Amino acid sequence: MNGNIQKMMKQAQKLQRQMMEAQEALADERIEATSGGGMVKVIADGQQNIVELKIDPEAVDPEDVEMLEDLVLAAVSEAIRKSRDLAEERLGAFTKGMKIPGLM
């Protein structure tokens, strides 16, 4: 029985190590989202962090700031969604059947 516990612990440690490596790899991933036909571009990493935001000068209209706000919000939301989808895809094998806060 003690051998089974040790075997289970080794498997759990291996799984934990693989999951940590997958999470670290996600930090290096880059996901791009755009809105307004490319006028606003947002780049996120695989851990749902926004790492870059580009706004085409033509999108800046002092008379219509609300439109620019909407474009930025749409691009950021899409980048976060894509990043979350990528994380779920990459970590899904590790988290199958588990509800882990922040990942699901």
Domain boundaries, the chain: 2-95
Confidence of residue 82 (pLDDT cuts 50, 70, 90): very high
pTM here is 0.73
**pLDDT (0 to 100) of residue 93:** 75
* Structure confidence by residue, pLDDT tens digits, 23-75: 888 999 999 999 999 999 999 999 999 999 999 999 999 999 999 999 999 99
5 class by beta-carbon count within 10 Å (0-12 exposed, 13-18 middle, 19+ buried): exposed
* Structure confidence by residue, pLDDT tens digits, 14-25: 888 888 898 888
C-beta of residue 84 within 8 angstroms of C-beta of residue 48: yes
* CATH number listed for the domain at residues 2-95: 3.30.1310.10
